[in-house]
Chains A and B, each alone.
Chain A
Amino acid sequence: MIGVNLWRKLLAAGALLLLWEGAVALSSDAVLISSPSDIAGYLSENFALIARASVETSRNAFWGFLWGNAAAIVLSATMLVLPRSERFLLALALLVFCVPLIASGPILRVLYGPGTGPQVTLAALAVYYTTLLALLVGLRAVSQNWIDLMRVYGRGPLATLMRVRARASLPYLFVGLQISAPAAFLGAMIGEFTGAERGLGVLTLRAMRGLETDATWSLALLSAAIAMTGYGALGWLGRRAVGYAPEILLSAPRQDADQTWWRSLGQTLLIVACVVAVWQLTMDAFDLNRFFAKRPGDVWGFLIVAENRDTLVAALAQTLGSALPGYLAGLSLGAGLAALLILWPGLAQATLPFAVALRAIPIITTAPLLVLGFGRGLAGTTVVVAVMIFFPTLVACQQGLRQTPGQVADLFRSYGAGRFVFLCKAQIPAMLPAFFASARMAVPAALLAVTTVEWLATGKGVGVLMATTSSTSNYNMLWSCVAALAGVAAAAYALVAALERAILRVYASEQLT
């Protein structure tokens, strides 16, 4: 049976390749699309070069994967042991995560100098937050009864952590690790975009700038294939090690009942002050050169000059204007398709594996192709941002729709309610937490996508401002861009989170703890 299945799959793949080849041969746009034979040709001609670059990028991604996930484990354990630190640490982790990688890249480059430091750090930065969130959910995915059970035998928090929480969080950890694998690869590639000597990112940048279609296609597909291999391998390992998948991955932010607006404001200010202090102190502690390692004071001094501020604000407005349509399109398409697929369950069974697999592709590695296809204007940017957000949203919403308990479904069926009524009255409310969780996570993703496209291709916005300032050594502007992006991302994230709380208070109050 397996043999027959395999043959069928091979046949389908072969047919697909032939179709592709034929379509390219017939189309007049040979400049934009490469055929499988072109790609095979390019890969075999440049085999040694590409193999070296792949090993280099994979190695950087691997180290970043290790460091980032280790950091996530340490952070989550700290938050569990010291619950009071959680709110603060989580906000800090979010703020760092919100800085688009393409913005931290040039900064890390000037701090580290030549070498693989920035790539590895970016890979780590790309993974730690998702693993941290998954772990925090996992460590709490413990029923109160299990904790009572431990207490009935006179066992305390430590025994609970070791015997119950650690084991219960294992499937969540593996999901985090699995999503990390392509993310780490993405981080390493972005590190290479921002000024490395070797690696697939460097080759991609060169191919893009030189308008080499075959090279761009080959490198994008190869990067995607490597990232998906990592995703698949960790998924297999997780299934072997754990044997079952976790129930709920994305959850609404925790909020204390006594939280008032002035306390939130106070906490926000405290976090901002801490970030500024950490920034200043790291620079001083390592005695970094003031020429490229700007302090908060330098950025402030730079930005109070109206001319500088206007340049930055104009670029930011451009970037946000490009990001917003893609963000909204990606979210609504993802949620809409999830709802459509649930109405036709057969279709969903066929598409879910694709959606899960495509979620694994670091979309940024295919951004060059999308820009080739859709142009360097608003359309191209919108498509890249939308595609970046679409797949995670689709998968999360499909999982959310399936959260509706079977008994509720039976109840609706017993009244003869149709699929559409069931969708609107039971499934969509059940989906909302997952939808908003992905809407929050999509904020940094959208900014990353838009700045990367700007850096690579469009020549507009903050992305390109950073690219030019890092090459002209205008480090004041570079640091200002990074600070502004982090601020904007955090503010947008907070906005989505506030909207989420307002809506979930009505539809899913039990999810707000």
Chain B
Amino acid sequence: MISPDIICDAVTKSFGATQAVSEFSATLKAGHTTALVGPSGCGKSTILRMIAGLETPERGEVLVGDEAPDAVARRGALAMSFQDPSLLPWRSVSANIALGAELARKPADQVDHLIDLVGLSGFADHRPAALSGGMRQRAAIARSLISKPEVLLLDEPFGAVDAITRRRLNVDLPPLWRARGTTVVLVTHSVEEALLLSDRVIVLSSRPASVVADIAVDAPGPRDSAFLDTPAVQDHARALYSALEGR
């Protein structure tokens, strides 16, 4: 499977009078994970939604490989995990996860494996209403992984997940999409999460979103919890915080 580059070319988007994104340009390399960080409401999610084809930029262009985002969506090669888990209340956990494969017209052959991976063993037959917010979000992440997408968009995927599980998922999940060569775009509030998961972190300014800093995370070593304590990564973290604080 060859994943595509994602090219954002001077993308601008407004909602009514508020400009959400202004002249955002970046090439997100195939098979890499890029994190978008920035203050709340800065327009990161809007960029993600434009890459997903859910919003159309009013100026500029988003290309996934050489295709428009909605063409990639129609091939079933795109998946997204939303801030709100958006599970269907009448489907069980396993059926909700399988939905990702159904909609992408792919075989749903990894449901059990993914349920184990996100730590929902024993809850396969539960309805979403019986789960906690964090468990629902984990089911939604599993749903986005099951179709083996070429492009995976994660919008605050672990926001409601408890700190310990979150740390574990931050370590356990990336090998899966790295092995598949998936192009991943992640929106997060957590600098640590961005560093653990990504090859590159783009810091965005407050509304309208434009690039403040662009940091390559090229520290060596396995991406586990010790990774965050290495000097190189701590340098990155300092650089990120000062960019976020506008210094």
Which residues of A come within 8 Å of B, CB atoms?
143, 145-146, 148-155, 159, 163-164, 167-168, 170, 242-244
Contact = CB atoms under 8 A, between A and B. Distances in A.
B121 to A, nearest CB: 24
B70 A153 contact: no
Chain A interface main SS type: helix
A152 B54 contact: yes
Interface centre among A149, A159, A242 (most CB of B within 10 A): A149
B175 interface: no
B160 interface: no
Nearest to A155: B103
B82 A154 contact: no
Interface in B27-63: 49, 52-54
Contacts of B100: 153
B78 interface: yes
Contacts of B80: 148-149, 152
A90 B19 CA distance: 37
Interface stretch (B84-92, B187-195, B203-211, B238-246): B84-92
A174 to B, nearest CB: 13
Given A143-B84, A148-B49, 12 more contacts: A143-B86, A150-B103, A151-B73, A153-B73, A153-B103, A154-B73, A154-B76, A154-B78, A163-B103, A167-B90, A170-B90, A244-B90
A145 B73 contact: no
A164 B96 CA distance: 12
A152 B79 CA distance: 6
B78 A153 contact: yes
Interface in B61-81: 70, 72-76, 78-80
A197 B226 CA distance: 88
A154 B86 contact: no
A153 B79 contact: yes
A372 B138 CA distance: 64
Contact of B104 (A153, A170, A242): A153
30 contacts: A143-B84, A145-B84, A145-B86, A148-B49, A148-B52, A148-B54, A148-B80, A148-B86, A149-B80, A149-B82, A149-B103, A151-B53, A152-B53, A152-B54, A152-B80, A152-B153, A153-B73, A153-B76, A153-B104, A153-B147, A154-B72, A154-B73, A154-B74, A154-B76, A154-B78, A159-B103, A167-B88, A243-B90, A244-B89, A244-B129
Contacts of A164: 88
Contacts of A143: 84, 86
B186 to A, nearest CB: 16
A199 to B, nearest CB: 40
Contacts of B52: 148, 151-152
B71 to A, nearest CB: 8
A154 B70 contact: yes
A281 to B, nearest CB: 44
B90 A145 contact: no
A170 B147 CA distance: 28
A83 to B, nearest CB: 20
A244 B130 CA distance: 13
B206 to A, nearest CB: 24
A151 B54 contact: yes
Nearest to A143: B86
A145 B49 CA distance: 12
A90 B239 CA distance: 59
B88 A146 contact: yes
Contacts of B147: 153
Contacts of A150: 103
Contacts of B53: 151-152
A145 B52 CA distance: 13
Contacts of B54: 148, 151-152
Contacts of A167: 88, 90
Contact of A152 (B78, B88, B89, B90): B78
A154 B75 contact: yes
A148 B103 CA distance: 12
B199 to A, nearest CB: 23
A248 to B, nearest CB: 14
